[in-house]
Amino acid sequence: MTMTNERPQAAATKGPFYATVEAAEAFGRRLLLAHGLPEQDANTVASCLVRADLRGVDTHGLQYLPHYLERVRRGLINAKPELKVERVTPMVGALDGQDGFGFVVATKAMAAAIELAREFGVGIVTARRSTHFGMAANYTLQALDAGLIGIALTNASPAMPPWGGMAPVIGTSPIAVCAPAGQEIPFDLDMSPAAAARGKVRRAARRGESIPLGYALDAQGRPTTDPNAALDGGVMQPIGGPKGSGLSMLMDVLCGVITGAGCAGDVGNQFLDYERPQNVGHFLLAMKPDLFISKDEYFARMDKLAQRVHGCALADGFSEVIMPGERERRFEAKYRRIGVPYNVKELAELQKEAAKAGLPPLPVSESPLASDAP
- Active site residue ranges: 132
- The secondary structure of 244-281, three-state, reads HHHHHHHHHHHHHHCCCCCCCCCCCCCCCCCCCCCCEE
φ and ψ of 20, to 5 deg = -70, 155
Are 134 and 60 contacting, i.e. CB atoms less than 8 angstroms apart? Answer: yes
- Cα 342 from Cα 363, distance rounded (Å): 11
The bridge status of strand 122-130 relative to strand 92-96 is parallel
E strands in 160-226: 175-179, 187-191, 216-217, 223-224
Are 14 and 344 contacting, i.e. CB atoms less than 8 angstroms apart? Answer: yes
- Cα 86 from Cα 129, distance rounded (Å): 14
- Cα 340 from Cα 62, distance rounded (Å): 10
The residues near 18 (Cβ < 8 Å, ≥ 6 apart) are 338, 339, 340, 341, 342, 364, 365, 366, 367, 368, 369
Helix (H) or strand (E) holding 72: helix 65-73
Determine how many CB atoms are found less than 10 A away from the CB of residue 183.
Answer: 10
The CA R_g of the chain, rounded to the nearest whole Å, is 21
The bridge status of strand 187-191 relative to strand 280-287 is unpaired
Residue 296, CA distances (Å) to 85, 182, 237, 280, 369 in order: 33, 8, 42, 39, 41
